[in-house]
């Protein structure tokens, strides 16, 4: 951005140069802010490594960046349990009005925003689809009632809201435009239900800008 602005100054001169200079100053300020955030993240990662090393009881133990990143991120990862009344799952099934919803499926989500009163979670649409109630299990074991804020079928995304309570951690988003094929990707979640919550897997970014066909109406 700064390079483009310098070219603009050379090309136009005079008043345009002054405008470019002001914009360039703004770009420099933004870059300085980015550096500050980066330094804070690096310091936090070093603090996490030190904590993990101390907890291991081995002062010689080497803690990798991946291990520290997992420790940092997993505090924001939750399990979501989709509860439905059986009459809604099995059409025609008679049930009493006082029947309790039962587990119809589970999935993962991540806390991405905090307000004074609520924590907001992004998850998949198919995780919450058809839910009578949602149970959200935090990393520390707390169980909360979730409320669907909105869903989108086409991107398979949904937003769930819970009472904030003692929740203090929200995920730090990266910039997908800066991804490169081959970079590390870490998955944290509940791949096979609540019993396996907090599971971790690592892979690589296999491709960019891909479209994946999805059978939305299940007609094959």
- With a cut of 60, say whether residue 88 has pLDDT above it: no
CA distance 21 to 138: 48
Which of 7-16, 101-110, 121-130 bottoms out in mean pLDDT, i.e. has the lowest? 7-16
Which residues are paired to 144 by β-bridges? 136
pLDDT digits (tens, 9 = 90+) for 107-137: 999 999 999 999 999 999 999 999 999 999 9
Cβ atoms 194, 137 nearer than 8 A: yes
Write down the pLDDT at residue 3.
38
Confidence of residue 149 (pLDDT cuts 50, 70, 90): very high
Residue 190: exposure state from Cβ atoms within 10 A (0-12, 13-18, ≥19): buried
Residue 49 token pair = 């490594």
CA distance 29 to 21: 12
Which of 30-44, 47-61, 199-213 bottoms out in mean pLDDT, i.e. has the lowest? 30-44
């Amino acid at each position: 951005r700064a390079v483009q602005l310098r070219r603009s100054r050379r090309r136009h001169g005079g008043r345009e140069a002054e405008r470019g200079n002001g914009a360039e100053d703004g770009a420099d300020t933004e870059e300085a802010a980015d550096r500050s955030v980066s330094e804070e993240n690096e310091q936090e990662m070093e603090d996490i490594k030190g904590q993990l090393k101390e907890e291991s009881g081995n002062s010689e133990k080497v803690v990798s960046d991946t291990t520290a990143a997992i420790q940092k991120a997993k505090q924001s990862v939750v399990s979501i349990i989709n509860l439905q009344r059986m009459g809604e799952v099995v059409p025609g099934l008679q049930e009493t009005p006082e029947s309790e919803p039962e587990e119809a499926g589970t999935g993962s989500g991540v806390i991405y925003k905090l307000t004074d009163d609520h924590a907001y979670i992004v998850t998949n649409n198919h995780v919450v689809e058809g839910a009578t109630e949602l149970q959200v299990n935090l990393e520390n074991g707390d169980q909360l009632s979730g409320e669907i804020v909105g869903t989108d079928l086409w991107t398979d995304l949904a937003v769930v809201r819970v009472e904030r309570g003692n929740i203090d951690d929200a995920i730090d988003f990266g910039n997908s435009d800066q991804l490169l094929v081959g970079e590390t990707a870490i998955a944290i979640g509940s791949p096979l239900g609540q019993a396996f919550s907090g599971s971790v897997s690592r892979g690589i970014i296999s491709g960019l800008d891909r479209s994946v066909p999805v059978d939305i109406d299940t007609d094959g």
